[in-house]
Amino acid sequence: MSKIRAKISGINAWVPPYILTNKELETMVDTTDEWIMTRTGIRERHILKDGLGSSDMGAEAVKGLLEKTGTKPEDVDLLICATVTPDMMFPATGNIISDKTGLKNAFSFDLNAACSGFLFALITASKYVETGQYKKVIVVGADKMSGITDYTARETCVLFGDAAGAVLLEPTTEAVGIMDSITGTDGSGRNYLHMKGGGSLRPASHETVDNKEHFIYQEGQPVFKFAVTRMADVSAEIMERNNLTADDISYLVPHQANLRIIDATARRMGVGKDKVMINIERYGNTTDATIPLCLWEWENKLKKGDNIILAAFGGGFTWGSIWVKWAY
């Protein structure tokens, strides 16, 4: 019997309409468009309005995905939501998205691997398809980063944006889809990138609010160093172990945290900039949405059989890469 693989058979994304530019940030904190552009490559990011949560963006992305792929909501078996900004501690944002989109027969859960979450969720979902257990699985990455960003802290508030992206996975016996993956975590990295408050260790209190513990804390430089090494290493490793050369690769799809990290990864893989999906300039770091947001924007350029490397690095630390053969 031929091997069942999980193919990506559709992609969609949704970004909120409001755009926060570097120019506007200049009026909020002591920063400049020039500093942000040269250090990060970000010019603007989309921000979700108050009163809405990650599930609202995720639901928009999923609704569009169902429409585009002609999928009936009741036919979806499983939805995995990658997020670090769930609507609430529980229930899972995936449960809420399923409810808002009519996925009555799907079971759903959230997966948290910070900026590597979408990648980890895609790998997890692919296993349910490869075993033959499920036929239609949705992976959605949704993050309202503005909800955990301190807009008085110039070192973090310039980096993040809000968005959601979703893919449909289905089984195939063709040699396309998720071909291989590598993942890693190192929890000792938690000291450099985290949100302290609101969990069981530091439940919300006047003190946690006063200490700004409900905002992202990041030590940029150490995270940068780890990100450059890990993302580049893991991307090179997945190529080597599958005998893929730079010529075989159609696109690198890197997590969009910093243009300099993306450039370093592409250099290490030996792929030219024309083969790298980069849209950080217009969206910033949308955490779990960066990779589907890229695939969505490049969808029309992709051809069946294209070799694509997805790569991510994030809080935890977490990192990983996936070799995908595009299926349509």
One symbol per residue from 122 to 161: x for binding ligand UT7 (CB under 6 A), - otherwise; what is it? --------------------------------xx--x---
| CB 14, CB 57: distance < 8 Å | yes
* In the complex, minimum distance from the CB of residue 9 to ligand UT7, in angstroms, rounded to a whole number: 28
Residue 307 annotated as catalytic: no
One symbol per residue from 48 to 77: x for binding ligand UT7 (CB under 6 A), - otherwise; what is it? ------------------------------
Q: In the complex with ligand UT7, which residue's Cβ is closer, 169 or 262?
A: 262
Is 258 a residue that touches ligand UT7 (CB under 6 A)? yes
* In the complex, minimum distance from the CB of residue 34 to ligand UT7, in angstroms, rounded to a whole number: 9
Backbone angles phi and psi of 99, in degrees to 5: -65, -45
| CB 23, CB 45: distance < 8 Å | no
* In the complex, minimum distance from the CB of residue 37 to ligand UT7, in angstroms, rounded to a whole number: 11
Residue 206 annotated as catalytic: no
Is 113 a residue that touches ligand UT7 (CB under 6 A)? no
Catalytic hit among 115, 157, 258, 294:
115
Q: In the complex with ligand UT7, which residue's Cβ is closer, 68 or 225?
A: 225
165, β-bridge pairs = 13, 141
Residue of 224, 251, 323, 326 interacting with ligand UT7 (CB under 6 A): 224
What is the distance between the alpha carbons of residues 57 and 165, in angstroms, rounded to a whole number? Answer: 8
* In the complex, minimum distance from the CB of residue 185 to ligand UT7, in angstroms, rounded to a whole number: 14
- Alpha helix positions (H), the chain: 22-26, 33-40, 54-69, 93-101, 117-130, 154-157, 206-210, 220-241, 259-269, 280-283, 290-298
- Alpha helix positions (H), 81-188: 93-101, 117-130, 154-157
Distances (CA, A) of 45 to 23, 26, 187, 283: 12, 14, 29, 4
Catalytic hit among 12, 95, 157, 255:
255
Residue 285 annotated as catalytic: yes
**Helix (H) / strand (E) containing 18:** strand 18-21
What is the distance between the alpha carbons of residues 8 and 176, in angstroms, rounded to a whole number? Answer: 9
Residue of 78, 261, 271, 327 interacting with ligand UT7 (CB under 6 A): 261
What is the distance between the alpha carbons of residues 122 and 164, in angstroms, rounded to a whole number? Answer: 14
Q: Contact residues for ligand UT7 (CB under 6 A)?
A: 31, 35-36, 39-40, 115, 154-155, 158, 220-221, 223-224, 227, 257-258, 261, 285, 313-315
Residues noted as catalytic: 115, 255, 285
